[in-house]
Structures are given as C-alpha cells and as structure tokens.
Amino acid sequence: MRTVLVTGGSRGIGAACVRAFARDGWVCAFCARHPGPEQEAVVRDTGALFVPCDVGDPAQVEALRDTLLSRFRHLDALVLNAGISLSGLCQDMSEADFDLLYRVHLKGPFLCAKAFLPAMISRKSGSIVTVSSMWGQVGGSCESAYSAFKAGLIGWTKALAKELGPSGIRVNCLSPGFIDTDMNACFGPEVLEQMRQDTPLGRLGRPEDCADAALFLCSEAASFITGQLLSVNGGLVT
C-alpha cells in the first residue's frame, strides 16, 4: 500500500492532489486547520483520513504524525502544499502578517519534514513534493513576503534533495502559476481575463494540472528525479 499526506488538502490544489492520488490507488491523508463542507467532500469522495492540523504548530504536527503513523504504519509521500496569500505593499505589511506567511510557507514544511523524515529514512524510501509558486522564481509585485518565502522553499527543496538522496528519499518542488482556486477569488473577471491572455497556453491553471504533476513526481516514473523545480504555469514564466 502506498501512502501519502497532503497538507492543505481541504480545498484547491491540495484537494485535487488527494483526489488524484486516491484515483491512482494511494491511501491518502490530508490536513487543514478547519473542517467544513469542502473537507468533508474530499473525505467522502476519496476515503482519505482527515486530521485537523495547523502546519505551523509543532505540537499539532507531532500529533498528526502520531495519528498517521499509527494508522498507516509508514508514509511514502508528503505533499507540502498548505498555503495562504497575503498581499500588499511592503511598507504596509504588518510584522504579524510577515510572520504568518513565514510560519505557513517555510516553518510548516520544515516541521512536517522533521516529523516524518525519521520514518522515511528508516525505510530508505520516500518522496517529498513542496509547493512553491512562480512568484518564488521571479518575484511578484505586492507579494514580496510571499515571494521571499516561496523562493526560500525552492532553496530548501534543493538542499534537502542533496541531504536525503543517499537515504533514498527524493525531494522536488512544484511551482504553480495562476491556478483557479479560492486563493485567487479576490480577483475580478478583468484580471482573470488578462491572466488568461498573458498565458501562452491561453487558459488559467486548474488545480488538477498541479495534482497530476505532484502525482508524477511521487511516482516510479520519476524515480531518478530529485532536487528539481517543475513549473505548472501554462508558459507564463519560463
């Protein structure tokens, strides 16, 4: 049995990942901070185990690890997807918001990896996929903190791939472009149309586009791929 944990799996890209892995026969677990109708739909559709967890809280991440390993016994793949978006001019961003972005985008992946790596290393196998952003590659105006932490996640992924390769664990990074999820619900139709026109493939990204790429990176077909950045952005950033 192949097992996967998706952080932030209740909506958007994370929920699409749970659905894609489940369709491929994986036994899935996911976390998010809040239960609700979308989370319940993912459980109903996939049979996945839902564990409420804030990835920035060490005690909650350790409790998640204990629940999951007692249920699944081992973890084959970890998709570190949980994220939030807080945008605005640099000079207007509060320290609290800056810290919050750091907490979910960098500290969260660190805490999750720290919690699950001993179990993966002891089996000498595993795959980790981090979810960065095109803004981590090229920087986004009014997204300076988000861009910084997503860029940090790319560096962290590459370093971890080198550290964990000898232990048989692959670590890769997904870099979504503009994906049609709740995270972008703040944008009106004109902005969405502009994004579509700016995208060489002529459409917005779908959560499933990212889920298929994450599934590939965790599959046997990617067994010689580690430390890589896979952009899923329709050609918006090359």
List residues binding ligand NAP (CB under 6 A): 7-14, 31-34, 53-56, 81-84, 104, 108, 131, 133, 176, 178-179, 181-184
Alpha helix ranges (H) inside 57-133: 58-72, 95-102, 108-123
In the complex, what is the shortest distance from the CB of residue 71 to ligand NAP, in angstroms, rounded to a whole number?
19
User: In one letter, which amino acid is 195?
Assistant: M
In the complex, what is the shortest distance from the CB of residue 181 to ligand NAP, in angstroms, rounded to a whole number?
3
Residue with tokens 């907490």: 103
In the complex, what is the shortest distance from the CB of residue 60 to ligand NAP, in angstroms, rounded to a whole number?
8
Residue 146 annotated to the active site: yes
In the complex, what is the shortest distance from the CB of residue 213 to ligand NAP, in angstroms, rounded to a whole number?
12
Instruction: Closer to ligand NAP by CB, 80 or 169: give it.
Output: 80
* Phi, psi of 148, deg, nearest 5: -60, -45
Structure tokens at 207: 């959560």
Instruction: Closer to ligand NAP by CB, 8 or 126: give it.
Output: 8
Instruction: Closer to ligand NAP by CB, 55 or 129: give it.
Output: 55
49: exposed, middle or buried (Cβ count in 10 Å: 0-12, 13-18, 19+): middle
In the complex, what is the shortest distance from the CB of residue 150 to ligand NAP, in angstroms, rounded to a whole number?
7
Instruction: Closer to ligand NAP by CB, 125 or 139: give it.
Output: 139
Instruction: Closer to ligand NAP by CB, 107 or 167: give it.
Output: 107
For 181-187, the CB contacts below 8 A with 24+ separation are 181/11, 181/12, 181/13, 181/207, 182/11, 182/12, 183/12, 183/83, 183/84, 183/85
> How wide is the angle at C-alpha 184 spanned by C-alphas 32 and 45, nearest 5°?
45
Residue 28: name the closest of 64, 72, 73 by CA: 72
Which of 72, 135, 146, 149 is the catalytic position? 146
Structure tokens at 206: 């779908």
Enumerate the active-site residues. Answer: 146
